[in-house]
Amino acid sequence: MSYATQQNLIDRFTQRELAQLTDTTNSGAIDAAVVAVALADADAEINSYIGARYSLPLAQTTPELVRLASDIARYRLWDASASEEVKARYDDAVKKLRDVSKNVASLGIDQASQPVAEVGGVQVSAGGRVFNAVNLADY
């Protein structure tokens, strides 16, 4: 599950901006593959922060997650040409994610509804006791 969609980026930043950032063939159209890579990169970055606090993959998303993923993906699309506003929004998103990872902020996700990750563990099985009071009585 992706935290944001191409449509979320269009709604927030306009179709024109998205086409300008992704159109590698000068067709005037949005290149969905380029957008998908930016969104996947945003998801990976978000997961690197929230994975310590939430079981991944998340069972739900929130408007806050959509906003963070959109700002990160937009920054990735702008690459080295990012304006101060785009960079500031990215920096704010990362700050929020750091706060979430430190348990200082929340994403508004109900942790009770999150699936519990199955964690493998070590099991030890041993036979009966070798030394006991009866065995040691003769010594």
Peptide bond into 57 cis (omega under 30): yes
d(CA 22, CA 34): 6
Query: Which tens digits make up the pLDDT trace of 26-53?
Result: 899 999 999 999 999 999 999 999 998 8
pLDDT of 52: 84
* Dihedral sign from CA coordinates of 81, 85, 87, 89: negative
Q: How far apart are CA 7 and CA 101, in angstroms?
A: 28
**Is pTM, for the whole model, over 0.85?**
no
pLDDT per position as a tens digit, 58-106 = 888 999 999 999 999 999 999 999 999 999 999 999 999 999 999 999 9
